[in-house]
Chain A
Amino acid sequence: MTAPLIQIDRLSKRFQSGGGIFAKPRAMMAVRDVSLSIGKGEVLGVVGESGCGKSTLARLVLRLIEPTAGRVSFDGTDITALSPAALRKMRRRMAMVFQDPYSSLDPRHTLTEVLAEPFAAQGEPLSPDRLPEMLAAVGLPAAMAASHPHQLSGGQRQRVGIARALALHPDFVVLDEPTASLDVSIQAQIIALLADLRDRLGLTYLFISHDLGLVRYFCDRIVVMYLGTVVEVLPDTTAAPRHPYTRALMQSNFAPDPARRRAIEPLTGEIPSPFALPPGCAFASRCPRASDRCRRETPALGGDPAHPVACFHPL
């Protein structure tokens, strides 16, 4: 692996909610002590279910929200220590594609205005031939430039979102479930487009998803998160799972092949509330392998540095 482009060091984010005259504020750790690195040109996948902190992590990496603790370095610069003005300048090198292609585009703007925004935000001139070029790069006809978002399908909107993210030729793009609200047929189109763009432009991706099957297809390395912590890092897409949660995720993903039907070993129990995490391993309440130790102590991410896992009883 080449030198890492992104270095995440013990990143945590604590959210407080509620609190008023009658209610005590409740706090939760959306992201707890996460350390990761992303190599230049790598596609790192982060997978987990709702509430696992993957979207919070995505925003922390770009410092769209302030971390409670920890640091993020981008190409050697600690972006968590940058002044607001310096951070704004830095944003031209990193971009984000959002999950919801409906609310991520201003309904009053035409596509021309949407795609001009990165240039306006960075105070850069936009040459007139750039616009059709940007639309063509994501497979949209130049004639669409005058349209408003509501005239586009979900897939087309997401292409606009990608074009906007790539407008200033960033090095690094965070993809926050870019296909979660699209049909499977359109999802596959968008994934193919993202793969093409990565090859052509040498991009580095952080790909957030709840779909392990998709992540295994698209990513080089996979981070599995559960309730704010990293429980396993799969070194490649074919690695066998070592954490029971990763295995459950894999088993929940049905292959489109009736010959490979399998008896599901469904997870029992409920996901604990992030506001009231039990002591020990957060997954213990649903884990078929949980022991007394799991309910007392919290396992740290460790073992084989190439394939670390946070479990006392790995597979």
Chain B
Amino acid sequence: MIAPLRALTRPQGGIAGLWLILVIVAAVFAPLLTPYAYDIQNLPNAYQPASGAHWLGTDEFGRDLLTRLIYGARTSLSVSATAISISVLCGMVLGAAAAWFGGWLDRIVTMTVDLTWSFPEILIALILVAIIGPGTTGVMIAIAVAYLAQFTRLTRAQIMTLKGETFIEAARSLGAGNAHILFRHLLPNALAPVLVSAMLATGDAIILEATLGFFGLGAQPPVPSWGGMMSAGSALIFKAPWVIVFPGLAVAITVVAINLYGDALIAELDIRARLRRDA
């Protein structure tokens, strides 16, 4: 897999990729990067604008905003990425099974997918969180289910197209069994488009996670998440605008970066046509 690296050599892919690496490294090494704790209140220090001590200022409880932003990245990224990983894994199994076995299984899967496809992801996620209850686990499951239809559908379409390729018939003519064809030919060829679309969906998932956080359904205080921080900041928009602006910018830049890098990856893998046709 050299394509992800080659995508970094494209101008937009490179800048976007650098930002993503920066955010991921910051999230992973959060405790090493900042002298402050994300949850210790320091009320006399509240509403400080940006300064040498607090690069992005402090919030209403006097906590360092940059520290909370970095810890927030931990929550937002891990929840989104885990949710999408679960979604991709389940979607590939469902989509591949539907395409490969066909018949009633295919009909049920296709019908369910079409049904969920006709609801906005946010609605599905809200309903699920309402059932499971707020918190990171609930949000994770909600996002995973909300995007399940997308990956099931994409995988199914990829496998359906590949099934008609002559090299599949050639493998059968050699006496290859189902497992051989599925794991040697179908899944490897379907993987690239699905992974790229998973990457792009992670961007959407970050927004969805922030939205749920904004409604107070995500990570519960004092654990920071970007959506939760914006929710708290919305009351202070005139008094201390930086409290809402910086998490907002973090979400926006990260999502744009994911999309730019994804575009570069699509161009490198040369699968634009396949994504457009099948999704």
- A: residues with CB less than 8 A from B are 62, 64, 87-92, 95-96, 98-100, 103-108, 117-118, 120-122, 161, 164, 168
Distance, CA A164 to CA B175, complexed state (A) = 12
Name B's interface SS.
Answer: helix
Establish whether residues A122 and B167, one from each chain, have CB atoms under 8 Å apart when the complex forms. no
Q: Answer yes or no: B169 CB below 8 A from chain A CBs.
A: yes
Kindly list chain B residues whose C-beta atoms are within 8 Å of the C-beta of A164.
170, 174
Establish whether residues A104 and B175, one from each chain, have CB atoms under 8 Å apart when the complex forms. no
Q: Answer yes or no: B107 CB below 8 A from chain A CBs.
A: no
Kindly list chain A residues whose C-beta atoms are within 8 Å of the C-beta of B175.
87-92, 118, 121-122
- B: residues with CB less than 8 A from A are 165-167, 169-177, 180, 184-185, 188-189
Establish whether residues B174 and A106, one from each chain, have CB atoms under 8 Å apart when the complex forms. no
Distance, CA A106 to CA B169, complexed state (A) = 11
Once A106-B185, A108-B188, A108-B189 are accepted as A-B contacts, the answer to whether A118 and B174 lie under 8 Å apart by CB is: yes
CB < 8 Å A-B pair total = 60
Smallest CB gap from B180: residue in A: A121
Establish whether residues A103 and B166, one from each chain, have CB atoms under 8 Å apart when the complex forms. yes
Beyond A88-B176, A92-B175, A104-B170, list 19 extra A-B contacts (CB 8 Å). Answer: A87-B175, A88-B177, A91-B174, A96-B170, A98-B166, A98-B170, A99-B166, A103-B167, A105-B170, A106-B167, A106-B185, A106-B189, A108-B189, A117-B184, A118-B174, A121-B175, A122-B174, A161-B170, A164-B170
Establish whether residues A104 and B174, one from each chain, have CB atoms under 8 Å apart when the complex forms. no
The 7 closest A-B pairs by CB, nearest first: A91-B175, A121-B176, A88-B175, A104-B166, A103-B166, A121-B174, A96-B173
Establish whether residues A95 and B174, one from each chain, have CB atoms under 8 Å apart when the complex forms. yes
Q: How far does the Cβ of A189 sit from chain B's closest Cβ, in whole Å? A: 21
Listed A/B pairs (25) with beta-carbon separation below 8 Å: A62-B173, A64-B169, A64-B173, A88-B175, A88-B176, A91-B175, A92-B175, A98-B169, A98-B170, A99-B166, A100-B166, A103-B166, A104-B169, A106-B167, A108-B189, A117-B171, A117-B174, A117-B176, A118-B174, A118-B175, A121-B177, A121-B180, A122-B174, A161-B170, A164-B170
Q: How far does the Cβ of A64 sit from chain B's closest Cβ, in whole Å? A: 6
Smallest CB gap from B189: residue in A: A108
Q: How far does the Cβ of A282 sit from chain B's closest Cβ, in whole Å? A: 28
Establish whether residues B180 and A95, one from each chain, have CB atoms under 8 Å apart when the complex forms. no
Distance, CA A92 to CA B173, complexed state (A) = 9
Distance, CA A120 to CA B173, complexed state (A) = 13
Q: How far does the Cβ of B15 sit from chain A's closest Cβ, in whole Å? A: 30
Kindly list chain A residues whose C-beta atoms are within 8 Å of the C-beta of B185.
106
Establish whether residues A64 and B172, one from each chain, have CB atoms under 8 Å apart when the complex forms. yes
Partner of A105, one of B167, B172, B174, B180: B167
Kindly list chain B residues whose C-beta atoms are within 8 Å of the C-beta of A98.
166, 169-170
Distance, CA A121 to CA B172, complexed state (A) = 9
Once A106-B185, A121-B180 are accepted as A-B contacts, the answer to whether A95 and B173 lie under 8 Å apart by CB is: yes
Partner of A120, one of B165, B180, B189: B180
Kindly list chain B residues whose C-beta atoms are within 8 Å of the C-beta of A103.
165-167
Distance, CA A88 to CA B173, complexed state (A) = 8
Establish whether residues B167 and A104, one from each chain, have CB atoms under 8 Å apart when the complex forms. yes
Distance, CA A95 to CA B177, complexed state (A) = 16
Distance, CA A95 to CA B171, complexed state (A) = 10
Q: How far does the Cβ of B184 sit from chain A's closest Cβ, in whole Å? A: 7
Q: How far does the Cβ of B154 sit from chain A's closest Cβ, in whole Å? A: 18
Q: How far does the Cβ of B236 sit from chain A's closest Cβ, in whole Å? A: 53
Smallest CB gap from A92: residue in B: B175
Q: How far does the Cβ of B142 sit from chain A's closest Cβ, in whole Å? A: 35
Q: How far does the Cβ of B7 sit from chain A's closest Cβ, in whole Å? A: 18
Kindly list chain A residues whose C-beta atoms are within 8 Å of the C-beta of B184.
106, 117, 120
Kindly list chain B residues whose C-beta atoms are within 8 Å of the C-beta of A121.
171, 174-177, 180
Most A CB contacts (10 A, CB to CB) among B166, B175, B184 go to B175
Q: How far does the Cβ of B268 sit from chain A's closest Cβ, in whole Å? A: 15
Distance, CA A61 to CA B272, complexed state (A) = 39
Q: How far does the Cβ of A66 sit from chain B's closest Cβ, in whole Å? A: 13
Kindly list chain B residues whose C-beta atoms are within 8 Å of the C-beta of A95.
173-174
Kindly list chain B residues whose C-beta atoms are within 8 Å of the C-beta of A62.
173
Distance, CA A107 to CA B188, complexed state (A) = 10
